[in-house]
Chain A
Amino acid sequence: MKKVKEHAEAAADFIKDGPRTDWHDDTLWFVREKRDLAAHTLPEWEQLREWASQIKNHTLSNLDEYLKNFEINAQSNGVKIHWAANAAEHNKIVHKIIQDNNIQKIVKSKSMLTEECHLNEYLIQNGISVIDTDLGERIVQLRKEPPSHIVLPAIHLKKQDVSETFHRHLQTEKGNNDPQYLTEAARQHLRNHFVESELAITGVNFAVSETGGFVVCTNEGNADMGANTAKIHIACMGIEKIIPKAEHLSVFLRLLARSATGQPITTYSSHFNKPRPNQQMHIVIVDNGRSRQLGRADFRNSLKCIRCAACFNTCPVYRRSGGHSYHTAVAGPIGSILNPNLDMKANADLPFASTLCGSCSNVCPVKIDIHEQLWKWRQVIADEGYVTTSKKVGMQGMALVFANPKLYRILGSIGRKTMKLFPFLVNNKLNPWYKQRDMPEPPKESFRDWYKKQQK
């Protein structure tokens, strides 16, 4: 298997293309600014965030009850409920529904859960192909890439890239980069798949416990096109997608799109309650590590996330390193606090891919303390021994020096003199600071030296 690059290395590769990095940064900053404008139109914005946070806190504290009620209510609406403890079970359940009904044509609208479970890869291994119908997802699917952003899956690509991809796979004109032309080509291509589809897979944005219904938000209407034409609808959701009451949608739907893209609301907020006559409706409810996260006091409230990606768009590190550098289905700051729970060793680098600037926590519509959890994950990861020995030894040395004032002063003085006399010892390739930055000029005396002279 190909070795997965750690965030720092993958980010360095991304940044090598300076103009593209600037474009990526500017594009996502533009989305962040749209979010700010939209939030400014609501005087009650901060109140909404607080309500959303409290509703989610309450729900997480009573998750078992709300899930059971959801199941009962959905079943009485004629929906079939499936429970999956992990990704493998989720994939098997979906596969079995496909097999039992002898299905060939499948469309899928955006679902980060199915990305997390690697459903497409699993089905391909079993000889079944799925057409992703979200435009961005279709683009990355054709390119055999994972999405780089949970709301804007192809945001790492420019229109020229899309043009080349469509030329190769959809036979569009070579070099025609007109977005309208390319979008029209995608529409025609997807239209056929919708019409022919026998089974539609969608995600779930909100599952309402009191009604057993669920809401799917899209801008392209592709979830509706799929779910309303196919004879089977499978909706896949994590256990944390539950909200207690339908009236709570009035908080979440107002926050979601404004936080995500700066729109007042998604173009389509579709409510699914029961199957049409002769239609099957299935909901797969997935744990996949979520109950373990719920049991971690410091990290449980990461499950409040409604996947708006505001934290991606505001993150100065994400904007300059691209989603693929996070090597996980959910990238960005929220991904960096969710993924260590799924695989701590493989994702030990992610909580360190942050300056802890705190902007993520400020934009979060459900008030997840993302940057504080990044800090806490660092402690857990170091405790569990998933940092390099050289870093550990360095930190132990530092701890020793700072606990010992005399040693600190002696080493400080030697360090400054050495830098003055032998600048090449620090000004060299081995020092990552020096690669693109000069070292500070070492002064003759420390502040303490100066202070002591004043006291004489």
Chain B
Amino acid sequence: MKIALFIPCYIDQFYPQVGIATYQLLTKLGCQVDFPLNQTCCGQPMANSGFSELTKGCDQNFVRNFKGFDYIVAPSGSCVLHVKEHLKDDQNPSEAQKIRDNIFELTEFLIDILRVKNLQSTFPYRVGMHNSCHGQRGLHLSSMSELMDSTFSKPEQLLKQVKGLQLLKPVRPDECCGFGGTFCVFEEAVSVKMGKDRIAEHAENEVEYITAGDVSCLMHLEGILKRQNSKVKTIHIAEILNHMA
């Protein structure tokens, strides 16, 4: 099983510890993990701003790096969803399609492909779960409060295997944090208000950490928490799942 690790650009640059945790976790679980060295970005920042026409070069670079693998795994629901929905390469359409079919967000890869049932990790803290929208509503990593379907959650299935972890849920279980890509700067006021409101609900639960499947949500929440001098910290789910006592 040839697995490629896709570490989204801003994780590579600003949150390498999330990439490291993902790599170590997959390796511990017996995977052979490759990190194609010339990867950059999935192209989402341009496309979500209305400039999907500009992502050609970025898309081709993505296909060059990730073709030929059985699976591509990334610690980000949002970037994975973008690739699944929008990756195009006119010179290499079948490779692009294969990548779209074989790219997985980390928790869905752990649950659906590796079928992880016994994680050997420990994280003795009170943790609030933030459901990142693109992972949840786009990739269906968990059931959604709007739909009248049976409830499930792949991230929670994993967090429940972590020793010592106390999982706490906010009152509004799947409200957006307000990051929204370039929304966070072009609609700064609404974005920050949404983030503050999410944080307030988690603070009610006296959590020590807020976790999520997307670093982008966490980066936004972390920025607000730090400005508020809050004791609450953010941590990506890969870091928890990889955490040993």
Partners in one complex: yes
Residue numbers of A with Cβ under 8 A of B are 7-8, 11-12, 15, 21, 25, 29, 36, 39-40, 42-43, 45-46, 314, 316-317, 320-321, 352-359, 361-363, 375, 378-383, 387, 391-392, 395-396, 398-405, 408, 412, 415-416, 432-433, 435-443, 445-452
Interface of B is mostly: helix
**Complex Cα spacing A364 to B138, Å:** 16
- The answer to whether B137 and A362 touch across the interface, beta carbons within 8 angstroms, is yes
**Complex Cα spacing A320 to B179, Å:** 14
- The answer to whether B176 and A357 touch across the interface, beta carbons within 8 angstroms, is yes
- The answer to whether B189 and A15 touch across the interface, beta carbons within 8 angstroms, is yes
Decide if B114 is an interface residue (CB 8 Å cutoff): no
Q: For residue A45, which residue of chain B has the nearest CB?
A: B148
- The answer to whether B58 and A403 touch across the interface, beta carbons within 8 angstroms, is yes
- The answer to whether B45 and A398 touch across the interface, beta carbons within 8 angstroms, is yes
Binds A, one of B13-21, B99-107, B115-123: B13-21
Interface set, chain B 1-36, CB cutoff 8 A to A: 7, 9, 11-20, 23, 35
- The answer to whether A433 and B185 touch across the interface, beta carbons within 8 angstroms, is yes
**Complex Cα spacing A433 to B187, Å:** 10
- The answer to whether B61 and A359 touch across the interface, beta carbons within 8 angstroms, is no
- The answer to whether B39 and A355 touch across the interface, beta carbons within 8 angstroms, is no
**Minimum CB–CB distance for B183 against chain A, Å:** 5
**Minimum CB–CB distance for B105 against chain A, Å:** 15
- The answer to whether A355 and B176 touch across the interface, beta carbons within 8 angstroms, is yes
Residue numbers of B with Cβ under 8 A of A are 7, 9, 11-20, 23, 35, 37-41, 43, 45-58, 60-61, 133-134, 137-138, 144-149, 172, 174-176, 178-181, 183-195, 197, 219-220, 222-224, 226-227
Which one of A375, A380, A381, A435 contacts B48 once the chains associate, using CB atoms below 8 Å? Answer: A375
- The answer to whether B51 and A395 touch across the interface, beta carbons within 8 angstroms, is yes
Residues of B within 8 A of A400 (CB): 57
**Complex Cα spacing A455 to B19, Å:** 15
- The answer to whether A382 and B49 touch across the interface, beta carbons within 8 angstroms, is yes
Q: For residue A364, which residue of chain B has the nearest CB?
A: B146
- The answer to whether A379 and B189 touch across the interface, beta carbons within 8 angstroms, is no
**Complex Cα spacing A380 to B12, Å:** 31
**Complex Cα spacing A191 to B46, Å:** 56
Residues of B within 8 A of A416 (CB): 13-14
Which one of B176, B189, B193 contacts A359 once the chains associate, using CB atoms below 8 Å? Answer: B176
Say yes or no: A439-B16 contact (C-beta < 8 A), given A11-B189, A317-B187, A352-B186: no
**Complex Cα spacing A441 to B194, Å:** 22
**Residue among A352, A396, A416 having the largest count of chain B Cβ atoms under 10 Å:** A352
- The answer to whether A8 and B187 touch across the interface, beta carbons within 8 angstroms, is yes
Residues of A within 8 A of B148 (CB): 39-40, 42-43, 45-46
Q: For residue B43, which residue of chain A has the nearest CB?
A: A402
- The answer to whether A357 and B133 touch across the interface, beta carbons within 8 angstroms, is yes
- The answer to whether A438 and B226 touch across the interface, beta carbons within 8 angstroms, is yes
Residues of B within 8 A of A362 (CB): 137, 144, 146-147
Residues of A within 8 A of B224 (CB): 436-437
Which one of B13, B40, B145, B191 contacts A405 once the chains associate, using CB atoms below 8 Å? Answer: B40
**Complex Cα spacing A391 to B49, Å:** 9
**Minimum CB–CB distance for A219 against chain B, Å:** 23
- The answer to whether B51 and A399 touch across the interface, beta carbons within 8 angstroms, is yes
**Complex Cα spacing A438 to B12, Å:** 19
Q: Which 4 A-B pairs have the closest CB atoms?
A: A403-B57, A355-B180, A437-B223, A382-B50
Residues of A within 8 A of B40 (CB): 401-405, 408
**Complex Cα spacing A354 to B191, Å:** 10
- The answer to whether B138 and A358 touch across the interface, beta carbons within 8 angstroms, is yes
**Complex Cα spacing A395 to B147, Å:** 36
**Minimum CB–CB distance for A333 against chain B, Å:** 12
Residues of A within 8 A of B53 (CB): 379, 382-383
Q: For residue B147, which residue of chain A has the nearest CB?
A: A362
- The answer to whether B146 and A379 touch across the interface, beta carbons within 8 angstroms, is no
**Complex Cα spacing A170 to B41, Å:** 61
- The answer to whether A438 and B187 touch across the interface, beta carbons within 8 angstroms, is no
Say yes or no: A12-B188 contact (C-beta < 8 A), given A355-B133, A402-B40: yes
What are 7 A-B pairs at a CB distance below 8 A?
A: A12-B188, A320-B194, A353-B190, A412-B9, A412-B12, A443-B15, A451-B37
Residues of A within 8 A of B194 (CB): 316-317, 320, 355
Residues of B within 8 A of A382 (CB): 49-51, 53
Residues of B within 8 A of A450 (CB): 16, 19-20
**Complex Cα spacing A361 to B137, Å:** 10
Residues of B within 8 A of A375 (CB): 47-48
- The answer to whether B13 and A316 touch across the interface, beta carbons within 8 angstroms, is no
- The answer to whether A363 and B186 touch across the interface, beta carbons within 8 angstroms, is no
Residues of A within 8 A of B192 (CB): 435-437
Which one of A12, A381, A415, A449 contacts B189 once the chains associate, using CB atoms below 8 Å? Answer: A12
Residues of B within 8 A of A46 (CB): 147-149
Q: For residue A29, which residue of chain B has the nearest CB?
A: B172
**Complex Cα spacing A439 to B13, Å:** 13
10 more contacts with CB within 8 A, not counting A40-B148, A357-B180, are A8-B190, A352-B183, A355-B191, A358-B134, A402-B43, A408-B9, A416-B14, A446-B16, A447-B18, A447-B20
**Residue among B35, B147, B187 having the largest count of chain A Cβ atoms under 10 Å:** B187
- The answer to whether B178 and A355 touch across the interface, beta carbons within 8 angstroms, is yes
Q: For residue B219, which residue of chain A has the nearest CB?
A: A440
**Complex Cα spacing A437 to B217, Å:** 13
- The answer to whether B183 and A355 touch across the interface, beta carbons within 8 angstroms, is yes
- The answer to whether A447 and B223 touch across the interface, beta carbons within 8 angstroms, is no
Which one of B18, B147, B178 contacts A316 once the chains associate, using CB atoms below 8 Å? Answer: B178
Residues of A within 8 A of B191 (CB): 355
- The answer to whether B187 and A352 touch across the interface, beta carbons within 8 angstroms, is yes
Residues of B within 8 A of A383 (CB): 50, 53
- The answer to whether A452 and B57 touch across the interface, beta carbons within 8 angstroms, is no
**Residue among B60, B138, B189, B220 having the largest count of chain A Cβ atoms under 10 Å:** B189
- The answer to whether A402 and B9 touch across the interface, beta carbons within 8 angstroms, is yes
Residues of B within 8 A of A39 (CB): 148
**Complex Cα spacing A15 to B186, Å:** 15
